Structure 1
Amino acid sequence: MRTELFEPDVTTGELELEERHSLRRVAGLSTELTDITEVEYRQLRLERVVLVGVWTEGSVSDAENSLAELAALAETAGSEVLEGLIQRRGRPDSATFIGRGKVDELRDVVIATGADTVICDGELSPSQLRNLEKQVKVKVVDRTALILDIFAQHAKSKEGKAQVELAQLQYLLPRLRGWGDSLSRQGGGAGGGSGGGVGTRGPGETKIETDRRRINQRITKLRREIKAMRTARQTKRSKRSNSGVPGVAIAGYTNAGKSSLLNRLTSAGVLVEDALFATLDPTTRRTAAEDGRVFTLSDTVGFVRHLPHQIVEAFRSTLEEVAYADLVLHVVDGAHPDPEGQVAAVREVLSEVGADRIPELLVINKVDAADEETILRLKRAWPDAVFASARSGQGIPEVHAAIAQRLPRPAVDLRILLPYDRGDLVARIHRQGQVLDTRHTDEGSELRVRVGEHLAADLEQFVVPR
């Protein structure tokens, strides 16, 4: 595969004529997609694919990183990537995404490689999809459809499946394709001998109209179901909040190692796979800090650049777990070519769900796979970050210590004398607060504790006068 690299003049932002009119191959993108379904009657199987991207801003390495990520998404979905192409343009073409003049070149690449699908690195409008598909003579899929397909493969819980189906239907609704009056449900005619009489003649309700109506009905039902699940999630969240147990949410780019870190910190035993979006269903585990304070640790769905808005909206109730946490453990892949870009993409999504005000602890993961120069650069960029490896265990004690330091501490200091038959209160203090000192006397256990206001009220009768 040929590689043609070039560096634009990013100081002026001007594009040279040759750059505008070139499709350039991206090296190293050789790696089958189970389905993207248009309602019930159209199935698409992606097997041998050519990737194509439009580079509108940034450096050539940014454009190639984006296409490399698209290749990883396609491979996760089950495709074999044959070729990757990028084109330098001021903006994507409104008709065909890559421009009319470049469609023939893309068609030649498709024929030469034997590809049966083109995947575009961006969200295409319905007209762009139709035009490009018509001209290259193979199926065309955009980045959004690809991500939705991966989500559909990986969702396991009832809530996760409902969220993915809602996102898919919202994406597919404007992209339905019909075949005209041949799909009419009613017969036409202009005489008493044809049709069903007055009011029944004409094209009737076409297949596409029927499908559109049925999709809208299904969307309404799914939204109702997800709302009920959201209420249940809020109830559980409220119980955790009332119990006084702090919550830590693990967030980060997809495949950054969030589930591996959760397993390392809590022995949770959740699925760990070297694939994008392996985790869609949140996992919450209870664990304890070094000083004995109990807190919950929740794994969340991974983020990605240009995460489809349908996904953000459908998974809002799940993503809001992060917004209600006391601390966000932001996991970053230190071995990735562009960790800074990943952090920016994650923070963008966190701000969409109102989690950008939550205290954040950056954990640079996979340091055992990153080179020293990258580690030094990231330490300069994020001096407060913790560097670790969930795979080897390197830096995990430092992660534990940093979490303990940033966890909210109970507000009320008390010295109490508990009778020996009130072991239930001692256990509750250990669950919800912090025991600072213990002394056993003839009357009972004298404890110096730090607890929340609710528990402090329940302990008031046992307080030792100062």
Structure 2
Amino acid sequence: MKDMNERTAAIMTINENVSELEEMAESAGYYLIYEIIQRRTSPDSSTFIGKGKIDDVKIILGNRSVNTIIINGDMKPSQQYNLEKILNVRCIDRISLVLEIFASRASSKEARLQVEKARLKYEIPFIRDWIHRAKSGERAGHFSSGDYEATVYYNLIKKRIKRIDDELKKLREDHLYIRFEKKSNAHVICLAGYTNAGKSSLFKALTKKDTIIDSKMFSTLKPLSGKVAGIKENFVLIDTIGFLSNLPIFLIEAFKNTIDDIFTADLVLLVLDASDPISEIERKFSASLKILLPEVDPRKVIVVLNKVDKLEHSEIEKIVEFVSKQTQLKNIVAVSATIGTGLDSLIDMIRCHFDNYEQLELRLPYTEEANSIISWLSKNTIISDIAYENEIRISIKCEKSLRETLIERTLKLTSQNPTYN
């Protein structure tokens, strides 16, 4: 167990909405001693908080020192440099804190590589700032020997990112094969949603797998999969990494392998914590949709309001009404993963979605275009069987809405229409 004194921290913020950052800090193992608030509409361009408050912080640190100051926001390299120079204490921002949590949760090779890539991408602007300062004659933080050392490190980072990309590409190919195997004769359903919405509890409730439920944020970095238990249908459920608002693009891209599970699923269960205040539900719902809807067909999404055992019926109705008015997502179900309320209704809604599927058989010639179609089919349909004979015979299950697209694509290669069973 770490000495408490090694992980003491204070939060510095320009608004009072710090509950999520507090939870993140505690998940990362910090002991929060106090919070420093300066109410202002935007951060100071030089030091994040204004000069007057900086003087107050110096006095506070003199009376009760901490090892780390956590900024409730995203810092520019110059802001971090100036703050650390003035306060003589380590200063990190929200994204750096997220990366610390990710690093502590990464258990698989793929997760560790994704976290390392995200950390290196995050560091690049800081390295550029160090190089600039070194060229200006300043002793820039870690690189007190100047421009040469910072430049060497910057080049090493770029080379390392290239190597990580190569390794992740190979892992992605393996992942695609596993994903293809899961989709053979099975409907793949992905759990998605804001961190700590109760996705892992819902996964455990539906699969009956003995999964450890951790209340800490981002407990699931490596996707978990299991068959939905107690039903005749072959539904494979995947639990994925939780979302967070205002994540930079580089961080989302670093976890492409993991997030792709959501984008290629046959159905997505978007889980919301219904016990949150409406303002929080709206914020987290909006953040989740920004990641989901550019890639996922809204017809393939069911909104799952979790933790409704903590609410009165009238409160649940208000949340359902609110969610339905905010978006084109109309499939909404209220459940409690911990006590089982509404799980049968959720299963029925899942079945109803897949009732809209039909069985088809395709016959394709051996061409490059056929390989392209097979790749498309693996992402958008359920491939039951492939037989390589005089021609390629493929049995699939797909949404009825895809019928015209399939006819159009297959007729370009052969004069035969798909056969419907």
Q: TM-score, normalised by structure 1?
A: 0.68
- Number of paired residues? 349
User: How many Å separate the matches in 2 of 1:342 and 1:356?
Assistant: 19
CA distance in 1, matches of 2:30, 2:154: 29
SS in 1 for 2:38: strand
Q: Report the structure number with the largest CA radius of gyration.
A: 1
**In structure 1, what residue type is equivalent to 2:10?**
V
Distance 1:218 1:319, change over 3 A: same
After TM superposition, list the pairs within 5 Å mapping 1:167-178 onto structure 2.
167-176=118-127, 177=130
- 1:315 aligned onto 2:255: yes
Q: Does 1:157 pair with 2:108?
A: yes
Aligned residues with identical type, % of pairs: 32
The 1:381/1:281 distance shift into structure 2, 3 A limit, reads same
Call closer, same or farther: CA 1:364–1:33 in 2, change over 3 Å.
farther
* Structure-2 residue corresponding to 1:50: 10
Structure 2 counterparts to residues 173-212 of structure 1, below 5 A: 173-176=124-127, 177=130, 206-212=148-154
**Are residues 1:452 and 2:397 paired?**
yes
CA distance in 2, matches of 1:322, 1:86: 38
- 8 Å contact from structure 2 (residues 263, 296) kept in 1: yes
Kept in 2: contact 1:53–1:122 (CA 8 A): yes
**Letter in structure 2 aligned against 1:80:** Y
Q: What is the aligned partner in structure 2 of residue 189 from structure 1?
A: none
Matching residue of 1:398: 345
Does the aligned pair in 1 maintain the 2:206–2:229 contact within 8 Å? no
Q: 1:71 to 1:374 in 2, by over 3 A?
A: farther
Give the Cα separation in 1 of the matches to 2:253 and 2:356. Answer: 33
Listed as ranges, the matches of 1:4-403 within 5 Å are 47-55=7-15, 63-64=16-17, 67-176=18-127, 177=130, 206-241=148-183, 243-287=184-228, 290=231, 292-337=232-277, 338-351=280-293, 354-355=295-296, 357=298, 359-370=300-311, 374-382=315-323, 384-403=331-350
CA distance in 1, matches of 2:299, 2:100: 31
Task: Give the drift of 1:289.
Answer: 7.9
Q: Contact 1:289–1:403 at 8 Å: present in 2 too?
A: no
Deviation (angstroms), 1:343: 1.0
Question: What SS class does the counterpart of residue 51 from structure 1 fall into?
Answer: strand
- Name stretches of at least 5 consecutive residues in structure 2 with no aligned partner: 140-144, 325-330, 362-381, 385-394, 399-421
Q: Partners in 1 of 2:287 and 2:360 — Cα distance? A: 41
Is the 2:185–2:234 contact (alpha carbons within 8 Å) kept by the matching residues of 1? no
**1:107 is paired with a residue of what secondary structure?**
helix
Q: Please tell me the root mean square deviation across aligned C-alpha atoms, in Å.
A: 3.1
**CA 1:170 to 1:156, structure 2 compared with 1: closer, same or farther past 3 Å?**
same
Residue deviations 1:121-157 (CA, integer Å, cap 9, x gap): 1111110101111222211000000000000000111
1:68-124 per-position Cα deviation (integer Å, ceiling 9, x unaligned): 100000000000112223333232221111222322223333334432211011111
- Which sections of structure 1, spanning at least 5 residues, go unmatched? 1-31, 35-44, 56-62, 184-202, 415-430, 434-449, 454-466
In structure 2, the CA distance between the partners of 1:262 and 1:231, relative to structure 1 (3 Å rule), is same
8 Å CA contact 1:364, 1:388 repeated in 2: yes
Asked if the contact 1:54–1:92 (Cα under 8 Å) also holds between the matched residues in 2, the reply is yes
Does the 8 A contact of 2:68 with 2:91 survive in 1? yes
Of the structure 1 ranges 107-116 and 149-158, higher mean CA displacement relative to structure 2 is found in: 107-116
Deviations 1:415-443 (A, max 9, x none): xxxxxxxxxxxxxxxx989xxxxxxxxxx
In the TM superposition, residue 163 of structure 1 has moved relative to its aligned partner by 0.3
Conservation of the 8 A alpha-carbon contact between 1:104 and 1:136: no
Which amino acid in the other structure matches residue 234 of structure 1?
A: L
Q: Are the structure 2 counterparts of residues 131 and 373 from structure 1 closer, same or farther at C-alpha, using a change threshold of 3 Å?
A: farther
Deviation at 1:373, TM superposition (A): 6.1
Taking structure 1 as reference, are residues 172 and 209 closer, same or farther at Cα in structure 2, changes over 3 Å only? Answer: same
